[in-house]
Structure 1
Amino acid sequence: MNLVEALLQALEERGAGEIFGIPGDFALPFFRIVEESGRLPLFTLSHEPAVGFAADAAARLRGTLGVAAVTYGAGAFNLVNAVAGAYAEKSPVVVISGAPGTREGRSGLLLHHQGKTLDTQYRVFAEITCAQARLDDAASAPAEIARVLDAAAAQSRPVYLEIPRDMVGVEIGSVPPPRRPPCDAEAVAACADAIMARLASATQPVLMVDVEVRRFGLEARVAELARRLAVPVVTSFMGRGLLAGADAPLAGTYLGVAGDPALADLVEGSDALVLLGVILCDTNFGVSAGRLDLRRTVQALDGQVAMGFHVWPGIPLPELVDALLQRARPLGATRGPAMRPAAPRGLVADEAPIGPMDIARGINDLFDRHGPMPIAADTGDCLFTAMDIEHTDLVAPGYYAGMGFGVPAGIGAQLATGRRTLILVGDGAFQMTGWELGNCRRLGIDPLVIVFNNRSWEMLRAFQPQSRFNDLDDWRFAEAAAALGGSGRRVATRRELAEALEEAAAARGGFRLVEAMIPRGVVSATLERFVEGVQRLQGPR
């Protein structure tokens, strides 16, 4: 096989389902072979950030590699922000970039799309990926492809492959099959024994799950672990959507002072809080009431386990969960699982203006009638509103918090799973990437899109209310939907919202956009509590 065919086979063997990309001259030979081979579907979008977000969402929901393919320089540098977010949130996106041919690089001329040097792009991506390779040698290419792709799978983080355009047709040997790094079985057993002893001595043990549980395909096993231990399990803010539909004692999503006080008491009062694949970030723990001492938790994440002042390095989460399952038994804790609070329902269809909670109620009512949908949410109040929507699959930039994720992530999610996706996006983020909806007709997908239009960067206003620079103009997105190949409706009352949601859910064959007009200054109660918690914990300025 030539280099690209061998790479495509290696990606397929490791679970990649498609390639999202935008061609350019240095990448045209790569794209030609991808198209001719037919091994992986190729979905092209309009701007490289969307390619990265779509590949990220596909990786998150499917629990396998996502693939983003771009050209050198002008294409790849547009991808940097999306890949940085994937790195921060542990999503295994494979970046494939075309590059100048080896003879071009020795010509002595500056090459178009070049930054400071021909290696600048490689060095930039080395900062936001866990493994990199330039495939400029046929002899070493098979091993390099395997090394980089296996690093993405093992670490659940982005990787970078650069292919000079005169290398794509070069014949190479077979890429070694997938392999996971070896682990010390005795160390895993000793670690599992120590965790079980800690749980058995506790009066209020709790499991908290986050992104690595899905990234490594552990949701069913973690649900079984919680059932066998008979202890409550919660998700972090970043882990919202995990265990959706699983038979597990799921108590809800921990949001500290921004969430349910009973759930906060359960987590912060635990004397054996086990963090499974949790990102230790401010959005997960920055609004705790101050009673959560992470040093007293059991932290199983990033390939190691820490408990107190003891650390077990080289403990992969899948092997640890299996070892805990072998040892699990009901713990007889003094406090049983908390009941997950019911999501709010019953949208009042009257002439009152729309607030974020009305959108949550309307979606929950919709799910009751038509069944749940996976959600792709952008950052901002649309994401905090999702905390009041019935627990379902969710992808969102909850930690990195980069704007523009929602629409392309929803496109990637539907293409990767085949399930119609609900997209929640603010008007500011829609201005960035919402126009990718124009690709839906060509791609044969029909997401349901709700734009939270308050004509402002409202989450920023929540932190700094007096600033007028947060005001945005009114772009009237619903009127643009038809030109993009879908249909849209602008709504300003709760009655109109209820009608538009039902119309959009019932219609198929193109994207449906509901532009919900929300008065400036109106935000969800969850965002209000989050902002108050952050400001209180930060102290006076």
Structure 2
Amino acid sequence: MRLAEALLHALKERGAGAVFGIPGDFALPFFKVMEETRILPLHTLSHEPAVGFAADGAARIGSTLGVAAVTYGAGALNMVNPIAAAFVEKSPVVVVSGAPGRHEGASGLMIHHQGKTLDSQFRIYQEITCAQARLDDPATAPAEIARVLGACKAWSQPVYLELPRDMVSAEVSAVGADPVLAVDDAAVAAAAEEVLARLKAAKAPVLMVCAEVRRHGLESKVAELAQRLGVPVVTTFMGRGLLSAAPTPPLGTYLGVAGDPEITRLVEESDGLFMLGAILCDTNFSISKEKIDMRRSIHAADRRVTLGYHSYADIPLDRLVDALLARLPVSTRTGTNRGQEAPTGLNPDDGPIHPMDIARAVNDLARMSGPMPIASDIGDCLFTAMDMLDDGLMAPGVYAGMGFGVPAGMGAQAVTGRRMLIVVGDGAFQMTGWELGNCRKLGLDPIVVVFNNTSWEMLRTFQPESGFNDLDDWRFAEMAAAMGGDGVRVTTRGALRDALAKAHATRGRFQLIEAMIPRGVLSDTLARFVAGTKRTHTPQPGG
């Protein structure tokens, strides 16, 4: 078969549900094959950053491969930011970039879209992907595809495939199975036994779950593990929403000084903190009231299990969880953990809208109609989402880059058919909100709530004296109709409740609710986060 067909079949066999992309001359032959064969649906968007975010959202919601296809240079280099975010947040996105033909660089002329050299793009992507290949040899291309896609699945991180335009129709064999990564069964067993021994010996063990649990599709198994262990369970900031439907749901989310003081005490005083799939980053741990002692902790992530001063390499998270379950008796214990309480009971009066009012409105609707999966951008919308009932939450909580919410939510709905709730600030909406104009052709109808305070408000909280945080009022709701959706601007709690109910009842068109929020008003969680960050990062006298 043709190389492009072999690649598309390999992606589909490994769980990819669609390709998101923008064509360009170096990628046109590949796009033509996608259009002709329909092996995977092709969804085109308007700007390459949105392509990367959409593929990321598709990967996160399905715990499977997301695919982004772009052209060389102007396309792929425009997508570096969302792929960097996917890399640090463990999202398995496959980047397929068109490229100049194998002999096009021989003329001595610089190729259009080229950076410093023809290889500059490849070297840049080496920094933000876990495996790469240039598919310039029909004899080796199938094995290279298998190697790279296998790494994408094993590490749950982006990978990069460069496809020269004169190779698209090259005849190749089918792509075989992924290479088997070496795993020492004895090492897995030893790691599991030591983890259990450490937890048994601890006076105050705690299980903390984070993003890798969802990335590897382990939520149901980890829910069973939590039940059998019988220890308190919490999530990290990036793990918010995990295990919410488990028999013993998490007590809540660890946010250090910004969170529930009881959860903070529980985590920071634990002598057996088991961090399962946890990303060690500042948004998860930098505002700890007391620094977590890693010497007394267990950390399983990145195919490694670390206990105190030593570690086991090449231990996949799924194999570790299976080994732990095999050594624990089945338990029917339920109800030990109280689960996280969500604010409800919006007062639908004529008062101004605060972020927590949006959380209450969403939760009131969820109590009646069931929670929706949520795609959140960064900013106070994300801190407010921490208090929303959800059927899965995705957000750029580690990388903390703006622009994720709208295209990620669109990508998630495109591959699952599940209607998404998207929460986004006005600053991030200015970046990628216009991708909603593609909902009509893609058959998508998300509900989008824009937190509009005409400000980069989260930045203002750290530097309130600066006027550059002021944004103009673009009146987003008025633009929705021209883009194929319905829009409404609300300024009161009563209008917010009615708009959300109407949006939920209306299908077939995207629904945009522009919630006007006074400047300077923050969600409770963000206010605590900012205060905690300032307190923990301010140099002390004599320090």
Q: TM-score, normalised by structure 2?
A: 0.97
Instruction: Please show how residues 241-390 of structure 1 align to structure 2 within 5 Å.
Output: 241-329=241-329, 337-390=336-389
Which one-letter code corresponds to 2:432 in the other structure? Answer: T
2:459 alignment counterpart: 460
Residues 2 and 171 of structure 1 are in contact (CA less than 8 Å); yes or no, is this contact kept in structure 2? yes
Deviation of 1:203 (Å): 2.2
- 1:407-486 alignment to 2 at 5 Å? 407-486=406-485
* SS at structure 2 position matched to 1:399: coil
2:536 is aligned with 1:537: yes
Q: Does the 8 Å CA contact 2:346/2:357 hold for their aligned counterparts?
A: yes
Match of 1:402 in 2: 401
Residue 134 (1) aligns with residue 125 (2): no
Deviation, structure 1 residue 249: 3.3
Residue type of the alignment partner of 1:13 = E
Task: Describe the superposition over 1:274-328 as per-residue Cα deviations: whole angstroms up to 9, x where unpaired.
Answer: 0111000000001111142223210001111111112111111110000000112
8 A contact 1:3–1:168 mirrored in 2: yes
Q: What is the alpha-carbon distance in structure 2 between the residues aligned to residue 65 and residue 99 of structure 1?
A: 22
Per-residue deviation, residues 461-510 of structure 1 (Å, max 9, x unmatched): 01111111100000000000001000100001111111111111111110
CA–CA separation in structure 1 for the residues paired with 2:116 and 2:244: 47
Distance in 2, matches of 1:187 and 1:318, equals 14
Aligned partner of residue 112 in structure 1, secondary structure: coil
Question: Please, which runs of 5 or more residues in structure 1 have no aligned partner?
Answer: none
Counterparts of 2:353 and 2:517, CA distance in 1 = 5
Q: Secondary structure at the match of 2:90?
A: coil
Could you tell me which residue of structure 1 aligns to residue 117 of structure 2?
Answer: 117
Q: Give the Å deviation of 1:369.
A: 1.8
Matched-pair contact (CA < 8 Å) for 2:380–2:522: yes
State the match for 2:172 in structure 1.
Answer: 172
Residues 106/207 of structure 1: CA separation in 2 closer, same or farther (3 Å cut): same
In structure 2, the residue matched to 1:235 is: 235
Task: Return the offset for 1:337.
Answer: 4.5
CA distance in 2, matches of 1:18, 1:464: 42
Residue pair 1:441, 1:510 contacting (<8 A) in 2 also = yes
Letter matched to residue 405 of structure 1: F
Q: In 2, distance between residues paired with 1:100 and 1:269? A: 57
Tell me what 1:106 maps to.
106
Q: One-letter code of the match for 1:523? A: L
Q: CA deviation at 1:341?
A: 3.6
The one-letter amino acid of 2:41's match is P
Amino acid across the alignment from 1:26: F
Q: What is the CA–CA distance in structure 2 between the aligned matches of 1:330 and 1:529, rounded to whole Å?
A: 40
Question: Which residue of structure 1 aligns with residue 18 of structure 2?
Answer: 18
Aligned counterparts of 2:269 and 2:61: Cα–Cα separation in 1? 32
CA distance, structure 1, for counterparts of residue 175 and residue 246 of structure 2: 37
Residue 392 of structure 1 deviates from its aligned partner by 2.9
AA matched with 1:455: T
| Letter of the 2:207 counterpart | L
| 3-state SS, counterpart of residue 27 of structure 2 | helix
Separation (CA, whole Å) in 2 of partners of 1:392 and 1:460: 29
Contact 2:244–2:250 (Cα < 8 Å) also in 1: no
Structure 2 CA distance, aligned partners of 1:248 and 1:375? 22
Cα 1:327–1:254 change in 2 (3 A) is same
How far did residue 391 of structure 1 move?
4.3
Task: Name the SS of the counterpart of 2:50 in structure 1.
Answer: helix
Residues 355-388 of structure 1 show CA distances to partners (whole Å, capped at 9, x for unaligned) of 0000000000011122110000000000000011
Are the counterparts in 2 of residues 14 and 178 from structure 1 also a CA contact under 8 Å?
no
Q: Is the 8 A contact 1:461 1:470 kept in 2?
A: yes
Q: Distance in 2 between matches of 1:177 and 1:251?
A: 41
What letter is aligned with 2:453?
A: N
CA distance in 1: counterparts of 2:521 and 2:144, whole angstroms: 52
Question: Equivalent residue for 2:199?
Answer: 199
Stretch of structure 1 that moved more, 481-490 or 307-316 = 307-316
In 2, distance between residues paired with 1:169 and 1:418? 32
| 8 Å Cα contact 2:147/2:179 also seen in 1 | no
Amino acid aligned to 1:461: R
**Corresponding residue SS for 1:166:** helix
Q: CA deviation at 1:179?
A: 4.4
State the match for 1:163 in structure 2.
163
Q: Give the corresponding residue for 1:49.
A: 49
State whether residues 227 and 249 of structure 1, in contact with CA within 8 Å, keep that contact through their aligned partners in structure 2. no
> 1:243 & 1:324 partners in 2: Cα distance?
18
- SS class of match (1:423): strand
Is residue 2:520 matched to residue 1:518? no
Paired residue type of 1:360: A
Q: SS of the residue aligned with 1:67?
A: strand
**3-state SS, counterpart of residue 16 of structure 1:** coil
Instruction: Describe the shift of the 1:394–1:180 C-alpha distance in structure 2 as closer, same or farther (beyond 3 A).
Output: farther
CA contact (8 A) 2:486 2:510 kept: yes
Structure 2 counterpart of 1:165, one-letter code: R
Does structure 2 retain, via aligned residues, the 8 Å contact 1:35–1:42?
Answer: yes
Partner deviation per Cα, 1:384-425 (whole Å, 9 max, x = no partner): 000111243011000100000000001001112211000000
Measure, in 1, the Cα distance between the counterparts of 2:422 and 2:430: 14
Distance 1:251 1:171 in 2: 55
Q: Aligned letter for 1:537?
A: T
Shift of 1:201: 1.2
Distance 1:179 1:402 in 2: 34
3-state SS in 2 of match to 1:26? coil
User: Aligned AA for 1:438?
Assistant: G
Which residue in the other structure is 1:92 paired with? 92
Q: How does 1:18-97 map to 2 (within 5 A)?
A: 18-97=18-97
Q: Residues 220-231 of structure 1: matches in 2 within 5 Å?
A: 220-231=220-231
SS in 2 for 1:483: helix
Cα offset, 1:330, TM superposition: 8.3
TM-score, structure 1 normalization: 0.97
CA contact (8 A) 1:228 1:330 kept: yes
CA distance in 2: counterparts of 1:282 and 1:329, whole angstroms: 36
Residues 446-455 or 226-235, more deviating: 226-235
The CA distance in 2 between the partners of 1:395 and 1:249, in whole Å, is: 19
8 Å CA contact 1:360, 1:386 repeated in 2: yes
Query: Which string of whole-angstrom CA distances, capped at 9 and with x for unpartnered residues, describes residues 319-349 of structure 1?
Result: 0000000112489x9xx94422420001001
Q: Which residue of 1 aligns with 2:495?
A: 496
Q: Secondary structure at the match of 1:400?
A: coil
Letter in 2 for 1:433: T
Confirm or deny: 8 A CA contact 1:230 1:330 kept in the other structure.
no
The answer on whether the counterparts of 1:277 and 1:300 sit within 8 Å (CA) in structure 2 is yes
Aligned length: 539
Cα distance in 2 for partners of 1:126, 1:229 equals: 40
